[in-house]
A and B are shown apart, each in its own frame.
Chain A
Amino acid sequence: MSSFILLLGIYFGIYALLALGQNLITGKTGLLSLCQAAFMAIGAYTTAILLSRHPHLSFVYVGVWVILSGAIFGLLIGIPTLRLKGDYLAIASLGFGEIVKNVLLNADTLTGGPMGISLPIKSFDKGLFLGMVWLVVCLVLLGLIQLQRSHWGRGLEAIREDELAAQSVGLNTPLYKGAAFMIGAAISAMAGMLWALYHGSAIPQTFDSTLSIMVLCMVVLGGLGNYYGSLFGTMVIVVISELPRLLGFSAIIPAAVNQILFGIILVSLVILRQKKS
């Protein structure tokens, strides 16, 4: 039981990172991107590929590469979509997520195909790992709040409010949006690294688009643009989706129920919010 609580705490932290990254991109900058799962996959596979070939690399070193590769892929999806607005960006980013997943499934020599990659590392002490995850969450949160208070953060908000007006006061909006994508993706890649370390493996099925939708759900639930809210939203969704297992119902309730639930939550939140404004 207590080990289950620890597990819940670890999942909570990892998903919180995804939600924070999503909130930077969608809540702060106003870009509806739907590929957090893909960015997470980049981080997980960077970790897995590096560690399976060089088992003695330090985690800090691996972490630097994870952040870099996350940022690069963030930019990759960012650049062609910078000109796309709203719904088009959502569709393009979903497509990007599918591409990443298919590459993972099919580039056997690099990614191990459908079986993924196992890491040659010992499993972690749950308590220790929990501490590590939340250290990362706290550092990311601190960084994001610092960013929010800087001119860059205000620039991102201005872009969300009105991109043309932001341009008209001299903001290089493509640069800002590209940076938001890079940072958001790098944060998600860190989540992927933690995920791979904890499970001792990286397998493609984890990084499905439904995960991206779930993350969006967390952010919308907690309030767009509100980082603490994202933590709250993450907690609610993690508890909902893990509760059946906690209560020993997981055999009775099919996994698809969760997906239906996220769909319902998202739709009702959007309707509620529209009514308010």
Chain B
Amino acid sequence: MTLLSTHRLHKDFGGIVAVNDLDLNIEKGFITGIIGPNGAGKTTSFNCMTGLDVPTSGQVIFNDIDITGLPTYRINRLGIARTFQNLRLFKEMTVFENVRVAKHRTSSAGNLQKDSGLWLEKLGLWTYRDERAKDLPYGLQKRLEIARAMATNPKLLFLDEPAAGLNQTETQEIMELIRSFRDSGLTVVVIEHDMHLIMNLCQHITVLNFGQKIAEGSPESVRNDPQVIEAYLGKEDHAAR
């Protein structure tokens, strides 16, 4: 079953076409990967689906509702949460406050404090609850951003390069976390350059290049797709091999 789909989604920034007539189908309950070279339009397509950018044309349908161009907070309330490629925490606020602000809508006033605490505990951040977000080590900041997004209780989670800058252990832990979300029924879309993560985590992968979808399918089929190899290695490199 499709949870979110885009139809001929298009975004240009005065001449630069960032997303070009993109048709996406995000299946409910799966982890979908979006990959592609730098500047391929991955982040921009996320932005168009979460209201940070308004698409130039095309449609975004979530749960049978047309959410094209809705403000970000409305889209979040409908059940889509996200993280950012460059961390966007509430830096001067504590770890606890970061989560509590996000949890407010999905928790009753009496339980807010308790629920936020439980949530931090579940994500292994309880020990750091009183630290300012900006004082956390980078890996934990990444984790906190996921915790904050998940605190809004979404049906669909967009992760923009969740493992960028993480070491192997941290990456492994993030993968476990994403899997556990999936197992509890969440649908996840993840942008990543780390192919190990993508190939191990995703059931379905979409490959973008110059704003267009150039391939999609299972990890195996994408890995062996000549167009994908070409996009990543460049024509000449590929021929030289």
A-side residues, CB < 8 A to B, are 151, 154-155, 157-158, 161-162, 164-173
Contact = CB atoms under 8 A, between A and B. Distances in A.
Contacts of B152: 169-170
A167 B72 contact: yes
B93 A164 contact: no
B105 interface: yes
Closest A-B pairs by Cβ, 5 of them:
A161-B90, A167-B72, A169-B102, A165-B88, A170-B76
Given A158-B90, A158-B93, A168 B100 contact: no
Nearest to B148: A169
Contact of A162 (B73, B89, B105, B112): B89
A162 B50 contact: no
A157 B148 contact: no
A169 B93 contact: no
Interface of B: 50-52, 71-73, 76-77, 81-82, 84, 88-93, 97, 100-102, 104-105, 112, 148-149, 151-152
Nearest to A162: B88
A168 B97 contact: no
B73 A170 contact: yes
Contacts of B73: 167-168, 170-173
B72 A168 contact: yes
A167 B93 CA distance: 16
B89 A154 contact: no
18 contacts: A154-B93, A154-B101, A158-B93, A158-B101, A162-B89, A164-B88, A165-B84, A165-B89, A167-B71, A167-B73, A168-B52, A168-B84, A168-B88, A169-B76, A169-B102, A169-B148, A169-B152, A172-B73
B131 to A, nearest CB: 15
A168 B92 contact: no
B101 A169 contact: yes
Contact of B81 (A155, A166, A169): A169
Nearest to A169: B102
Given A157-B90, A161-B92, 12 more contacts: A161-B91, A164-B72, A165-B89, A166-B90, A167-B71, A168-B76, A168-B84, A169-B76, A169-B102, A169-B148, A170-B76, A170-B102
B91 to A, nearest CB: 6
Nearest to A172: B73
Contacts of B151: 169
A157 B89 CA distance: 12
Contacts of B102: 169-170
A157 B93 contact: yes
B76 A155 contact: no
B107 to A, nearest CB: 10
B54 to A, nearest CB: 13
Given A162-B88, A164-B72, A170 B93 contact: no
Contacts of B51: 167
A168 B82 contact: yes
A24 to B, nearest CB: 17
A169 B52 contact: no
